[in-house]
Amino acid sequence: MSSDQLQGCAELNSISHETKSLKPLVSLEAEIPEALYIGMKDFIGSNPNWDQYQVMSSALANFLFQNGCNDRAVTERYLNDLFTRCEA
């Protein structure tokens, strides 16, 4: 998927969510190595307060923050996930 397609998806989703006054969301489809999928599945199985969307969002925020992203929302997500205790 090109960056133009990603931007188009973000704009469409943002417009539809603005009318509902929700945070904009973008759907993402990605192929990942089987080992990562199994690890994610095992983690979610042993941590019922997490789901696949939270895990992927947390991992992406972690990656972006650690690689120099200065966006406030990314930093907040990273820090919230870092200091939130798992209640399994």
Residues 7 and 26 in one domain: yes
Residues 20 and 62 in one domain: no
Helix (H, G, I), strand (E, B) or coil at 50: coil
Q: What is the pLDDT of residues 38-65, one digit of tens each?
A: 999 999 999 988 889 889 989 999 999 9
Residues 57 and 37 in one domain: yes
- The pTM assigned to this predicted structure is 0.63
Residue ranges making up the domain that contains 40: 32-88
Residues 48 and 79 in one domain: yes
Residues 22 and 52 in one domain: no
Closest residue by Cα to residue 76 from 26, 23, 9, 39: 23
DSSP code for 86: P
How crowded is residue 43: how many other Cβ atoms within 10 Å of its Cβ?
A: 13
Contact 23, 12 (CB under 8 A): no
Residues 39 and 82 in one domain: yes
Q: What is the pLDDT of residues 3-12, one digit of tens each?
A: 554 455 455 4
